[in-house]
Amino acid sequence: MELYSGYINKLIEELSGLPGIGEKSASRLAFHLIHMPKAKVERLARTIVEAKEHVQYCRECYTLTDQEICLICANEKRDHTTIMVLENTRDLAAYEKTGKYEGVYHVLHGAISPMIGIGPSDLKLKELLQRLQGDIKEVIIATNSSLEGETTAMYISKLIKPTGVKVTRIASGVPVGGDLEYIDEVTLLRALEGRIEL
């Protein structure tokens, strides 16, 4: 037996399809949205649609942006000879919060995971290798300390080493199995400063 009417059930179902949102959270969100003023709900819906229409990959680093080139890549004060490789845009934001990294980034949009069918060709690795044709001195691999992140780091290291570009890996300090987006700035900074050459 369904507890709510069709529209409420449909809304709960859609919300529970979002990552990290279970049925209880989806129910709370659904009722919150229903009780919001119509103008606020319309503004929220419009913002979601506009973000979907306008957000794209940066032409240089493949982070998400609403411009052709993101603000970091467009910044001439950044060290464009050092590239930090990350799994996703949330990890980039975590490093930016430290305020200490002055290089640029490259976002892979995932990690190698044969268990769920993600291979090297599913990541932005070809684009990374193209960037190495320029004046690049160091590639810092800052994938997560999970099995997938470590596999991806080793794969990237083997790809880049023949080019002669220095390849480093962020140091421990980031717990095994931890996601960068949830780690505090001090721990991230220690991991960056203690990186080692692969």
What is the model's pLDDT at position 185? Answer: 78
Q: Tell me the pLDDT of the chain averaged across its residues.
A: 90
pLDDT higher than threshold 60 for residue 1: no
Backbone region of residue 109 per phi and psi (left: phi > 0; alpha: psi in -120 to 50; beta: other values): left
Domain with CATH 1.10.8.420 in the chain: 6-54
pLDDT higher than threshold 80 for residue 194: no
What is the model's pLDDT at position 192? Answer: 80
pLDDT higher than threshold 50 for residue 115: yes
Q: Tell me the pLDDT tens digit for each residue of 58-114.
A: 999 999 999 999 999 999 999 999 999 999 999 999 999 989 999 999 999 999 998
Q: Tell me the pLDDT tens digit for each residue of 122-148.
A: 999 999 999 999 899 999 999 988 889
What is the model's pLDDT at position 75? Answer: 96
Residue type, 70: C
Domain with CATH 3.40.1360.10 in the chain: 57-197
Q: What DSSP letter does each residue of 98-155 carry, written as one string?
A: HS---EEEEE-SS--BGGGTB-GGGTTHHHHHHHTTSS--EEEE---SSHHHHHHHHH
Split at pLDDT 50, 70, 90, the class of 173 is low
Q: Which fold has domain 6-54?
A: Helicase, Ruva Protein; domain 3 (1.10.8)
Decide which of 3.30.2130.10, 3.90.800.10, 1.25.40.10, 3.40.1360.10 is the CATH code for 57-197: 3.40.1360.10
pTM metric for this prediction: 0.78
